[in-house]
Amino acid sequence: MAVEERTGYRNWFFVAAAAAGFVSVAGGIFDIYIGTAIGGLGEIPEDAVGRFAQFARNPWLGLYCLDLLNCVTTFLLLFPTLAICLIHRTKFPAFSVCTLVAASIGTALFVGGNSALAMLALSRTYETADEVRRLLLAAAGEALIARGEHGGPAVFPAFMLCSASSLLAAVLQLKGRTFGRACAVWGIVGNLLLMVYLVLVSFVPGLKNFAIAIAAPGGIAALVWTVLTSVALVRFSARVEDAV
C-alpha pair distances (Å), 39 with each of 14, 33, 44, 65: 37, 10, 9, 12
Q: What is the pLDDT of residue 85?
A: 93
Give the pLDDT band (50/70/90) at residue 229.
very high
Give the pLDDT band (50/70/90) at residue 5.
very low
Give the pLDDT band (50/70/90) at residue 131.
confident
- Lowest-confidence segment of 108-122, 185-199, 201-215 by average pLDDT: 201-215
- C-alpha angle 42-45-50 in degrees, rounded to nearest 5: 160
Secondary element (H or E) of residue 89: none
For residue 2, which phi and psi values (nearest 5 degrees)? -65, -40
Mean local confidence (pLDDT), 219-225: 94
If one compares 226 and 200, the residue with the highest pLDDT of the two is: 226
Mean local confidence (pLDDT), 51-61: 89
Instruction: Write the pLDDT tens digit of every residue in 181-205.
Output: 999 999 999 999 999 998 888 888 7
Residue 238 confidence (pLDDT) above 80: no
C-alpha pair distances (Å), 100 with each of 81, 94, 95, 160, 242: 7, 10, 9, 14, 22
CB atoms within 10 A of CB 166: 29
Q: List all residues 6 or more positions away from 30 whose beta carbon is below 8 Å from its beta carbon.
A: 69
User: Residue 214 is which amino acid?
Assistant: I
Q: What is the pLDDT of residue 203?
A: 85
Could you give the number of structural domains in the chain? 1
If one compares 2 and 107, the residue with the highest pLDDT of the two is: 107
Mean local confidence (pLDDT), 221-237: 92
The parent domain of residue 39 ranges over: 2-243
What gap in Å lies between CA 107 and CA 165, rounded to an integer?
10
Q: What is the pLDDT of residue 242?
A: 47
Mean local confidence (pLDDT), 35-64: 80
